[in-house]
Amino acid sequence: MLSSSFSQYMDNLSYVYSNVERYFSFHVVSGVRPMWILTPDGMLLDGETSMSLTPLSENEFCYGYETSTGCLEVPDLANECRSKNENFTLLSGEYPTDSRMRRSDAGNSSLSRSDCMMRCWNDCSCLAFEEYEYGNDCVTYTGDKSTKLIIDTRGYDTQMFVLESQDAIDSMIVLHAFGHLLLLGFFYFPFVSGYCGILRRKNLRLEAEERQRRDDEYFLGLMASDSFNDASNLDNSGRKISEMTVFSYPSILASTNNFTSENKLGEGGFGPVYKGKLSHGLDIAIKRLSRASGQGLVEFKNELVLITKIQHTKLVRILGCCVHGEEKMLIYEYMPNKSLDFFSFRRNKKGTPRLDKTMEHH
């Protein structure tokens, strides 16, 4: 289609179409012979005025069934093996080299891109065409329609115009987008996972520091407690004894050889008891309170203060405690070889029991 300003320069415009070529011709008015330039994008220009062909629409080719800008409806172009939702799409890839595919050289150096398009469009077995580097000839690919182009997402393979239905084109666009996302995922996954690992380690470190801070605050409050200090420094006779010790978790681990089964003395409802030896040689017994008890730090503090208040000089003495995260432990003097009954109810030098047996359950 020509613009209205262009029509004054021509007369008897005619359009020629055949299986091998398409062109238009016209007779100029009053013998005027201007020079016009037809650009690849459909513009017809001269050196003096802005005369042009109406440019094609978004589609690069006209298929004969369109009436959009730049295209005419040409019934002769329609054939039984093509449908209205088929279009040529420029893709990068290659067809598999097997007996089902044939690659044919047109052998005509005067063929344009549109001529190559028509050559493939009119051949019902043609699947795609490829232009030569300088655009003066083409190669067609014919074969079974079930044969699909092997897409090259990197853009290294040959670019060719592939005849695809619109549904297939849409699916291919989605596939390409998914492929790019997958490629980006493979590329960025190590960095993202590494970054997440760094963040996780940082968060774990911060959580550990926060737990340690809370434990430190708790123990500072524990040691500042009046009742705790009283119970720690005085025995039941009013004599001053060694202060209650807050043991570090690593020291307890070292003393029990990481709580090995060989160091386990027994277990009750409160939890297991282990024997340990401190670095300076003192034997201790460690009672690991059961995590299922649901006891919090406040309750643990109250229990510890109560135990220190009621302990008897003749009974095994509590030395201190240890708290590590959810782990709570009471540290006692280790009672070697003999039972509590032996130390509590054995007779003194005069032959009388140290404790009355009637007090055993009181």
Report pTM.
0.35
Residue 132: φ, ψ to 5°: -70, 165
pLDDT in tens, the chain (362 residues): 444 444 454 556 677 766 666 777 766 666 666 666 766 655 666 655 544 444 444 456 777 666 665 566 666 555 667 777 777 888 877 777 665 667 777 666 677 777 888 888 888 888 888 887 665 678 888 887 777 777 665 555 677 888 777 665 566 667 667 777 777 777 777 877 888 888 888 888 888 778 767 766 665 565 555 444 443 343 433 333 345 677 888 999 999 999 999 999 988 767 889 999 988 888 999 988 776 655 556 666 676 767 666 665 556 778 888 877 778 888 888 887 655 555 444 555 455 554 444 444 44
Q: For tokens 């469009």, what's the residue? A: 121
**CA–CA distance from 323 to each of 4, 212, 252 (Å)?**
93, 10, 10
CATH class, 83-169 region? alpha beta
In the chain, where the domains are located? 7-45, 83-169, 227-359
Residue 210: predicted pLDDT = 81
What pLDDT score was predicted for residue 72? 64
Q: What's domain 227-359's architecture?
A: 2-Layer Sandwich (3.30)
Matching residue, tokens 């596939």: 175
